[in-house]
């Protein structure tokens, strides 16, 4: 009997401790949550990029390399130092913009929306109610059910926001490849990396960085009404997914590889886009529905070493074949 009471007391203390953490202070290492929506994704970019660069430097897991490391030096136009300098400059601008948005109060509505939904879900059985910490089976089932609903709701909001980002980025990307002036003056810098690597994931012009990456995230947060904490999760995942897509690796245990298997938007999927023969294909980053809808999904074999053979192209549907031949013609004119 005594041991049961001790376990119950321990469980109650744990639940109260976890609940108290819901009301965290506004400052974390000197930053508030709004500022962290910029700080954490930028930090995650360099940490994850460094991880992949260390794999390449020490030649770890070479069996999961999409292309030989030597290809980076042979095929890429800018030096790695120039790429790192460019991305650092863009990230400084991103951080400044994040702090300006915090100063202007952008994003506060999302916190109110999230709080309203949280209160609605937890109202079925308030988590702070003392009886929540009892061992009554009905109460525990209510607690589990409300938690599942809450987590599912939060996950659904993340996926919806990710779809907003993907939609914005796809149409900017699609337009950049269709309009020659935009490609040559704005987007072509990113395609100087024919064999991408992790540090070059966001190697863009400042204009593209703002119009595509930053605006996509802002639109997602505003449209879905994400709280700052939700935005931190979304932006960090989106950033690390970009790094993984450009890392040159396809690690089978990576959560981003698993995500790619579920959605079709894997690192291999995006690496094909960086090849001369696949540049007009696979323009989406997080899903593939827009590529399917616009018939820009690459239909050939997933090889990164050579363009599709003539026999392979001849086997494609006539419309896709015509698009492919038109793409090759446009590439020669660029």
Is the distance from CB of 183 to CB of 63 less than 8 angstroms? no
Name which of 95, 114, 91, 98 is nearest 229 in CA terms: 114
Residue 39's pLDDT is 95
Helix, strand, coil % in the chain, rounded to nearest 5? 70, 0, 30
Segment of 52-66, 178-192, 317-331 carrying the highest mean pLDDT: 178-192
* Secondary structure element (H or E) that encloses residue 330, with its range: helix 318-333
pLDDT band at 112 (very low <50, low <70, confident <90, very high): low
Residue 50 to residue 71: CA distance in whole angstroms = 19
Is the distance from CB of 38 to CB of 98 less than 8 angstroms? yes
- pTM recorded for the entire structure: 0.78
Q: Give bridge partners of residue 249 from the DSSP assignment.
A: 65
State what percent of residues in the chain have pLDDT above 90.
Answer: 49
The DSSP code sequence of 230-259 is HHHHHHHHHHHHHHHHHSSB--TT-HHHHH
Is the distance from CB of 327 to CB of 313 less than 8 angstroms? no
Name the least confident of 32-36, 45-49, 120-124, 133-137.
120-124
């Amino acid at each position: 009997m005594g041991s049961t009471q001790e376990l119950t007391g321990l469980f109650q203390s744990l639940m109260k401790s976890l609940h108290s953490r819901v009301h965290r202070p506004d400052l974390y290492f000197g930053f508030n949550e709004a500022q962290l929506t910029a700080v954490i994704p930028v930090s995650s970019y360099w940490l994850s990029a460094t991880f992949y660069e260390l794999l390449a430097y020490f030649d770890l897991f070479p069996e999961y390399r999409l292309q030989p490391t030597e290809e980076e030096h042979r095929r890429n136009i800018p030096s790695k130092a120039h790429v790192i300098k460019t991305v650092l400059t863009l990230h400084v601008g991103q951080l400044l913009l994040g702090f300006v948005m915090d100063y202007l109060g952008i994003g506060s509505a999302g916190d109110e929306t999230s709080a309203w939904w949280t209160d609605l879900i937890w109202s079925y059985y308030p988590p702070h109610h003392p009886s929540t910490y009892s061992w009554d089976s009905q109460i525990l089932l209510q607690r589990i059910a409300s938690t599942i609903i809450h987590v599912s709701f939060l996950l659904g909001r993340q996926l919806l926001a990710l779809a907003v980002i993907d939609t914005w980025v796809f149409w900017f990307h699609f337009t950049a490849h269709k309009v020659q002036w935009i490609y040559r003056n704005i987007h072509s810098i990113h395609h100087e990396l024919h064999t991408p690597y992790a540090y070059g994931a966001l190697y863009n012009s400042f204009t593209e960085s703002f119009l595509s990456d930053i605006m996509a995230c802002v639109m997602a947060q505003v449209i879905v009404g994400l709280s700052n904490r939700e935005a931190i999760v979304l932006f960090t995942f989106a950033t690390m997914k970009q790094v993984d897509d450009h890392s040159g690796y396809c690690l089978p245990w990576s959560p981003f590889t698993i995500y790619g298997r579920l959605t079709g938007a894997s690192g291999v999927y995006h690496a094909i886009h960086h090849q001369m023969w696949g540049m007009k294909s696979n323009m989406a980053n997080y899903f593939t529905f827009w590529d399917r809808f616009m018939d820009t999904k690459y239909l050939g074999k997933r090889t990164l070493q050579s363009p599709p053979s003539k026999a392979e192209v001849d086997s494609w549907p006539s419309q896709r074949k015509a698009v492919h031949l038109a793409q090759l013609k446009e590439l020669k004119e660029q």
